[in-house]
Amino acid sequence: MFFFFTCGTHTFSNHLKGAENLTVQCQNCGNFSGHVYKRWEWFTFCFVPIIPFSLKPYKEVGCHICNFYQDIKYRPDVQAQMGQSGGGMMMGPPGGGQPQHPQYK
């Protein structure tokens, strides 16, 4: 009997909480198609995630058009927008609840 074990990595990818509605410019293709993702790499054994490679998930700006991912630390503009929306949420926006995104056009 031959047992075949598969080791590998699995990356969990999710929209970052509080930034789901944020649309930012992709610095690779220039489209306003970037979204903020949280990516977390795990070591897998037989496709079961066992050990996380990092304690904290990566925060990245991902573009679905050109498939370009960029660490959010290189995007101070995105961090500023997240800070604004996040802070507003905490304090409770007066009425509406419509997130205001700056227009770059």
Query: Footprint of Zn ion on this chain (CB under 5 A)?
Result: 26, 28-29, 63, 65-66, 68
Q: What residue type is assigned to position 48 of the chain?
A: V
Handedness of CA 95, 97, 102, 105 (dihedral sign): negative
Alpha carbons 22 and 15: distance in angstroms, whole number: 10
To the nearest whole angstrom, how small is the minimum distance from the Cβ of residue 63 to Zn ion? 3
Radius of gyration from C-alpha coordinates of the chain: 18
Q: Please, are residues 50 and 14 in contact by the beta-carbon 8 Å criterion?
A: no
Is the Cβ of residue 27 or residue 44 nearer to Zn ion in the bound state?
27
Is the Cβ of residue 65 or residue 89 nearer to Zn ion in the bound state?
65
To the nearest whole angstrom, how small is the minimum distance from the Cβ of residue 99 to Zn ion? 22
To the nearest whole angstrom, how small is the minimum distance from the Cβ of residue 27 to Zn ion? 8
Is the Cβ of residue 29 or residue 48 nearer to Zn ion in the bound state?
29
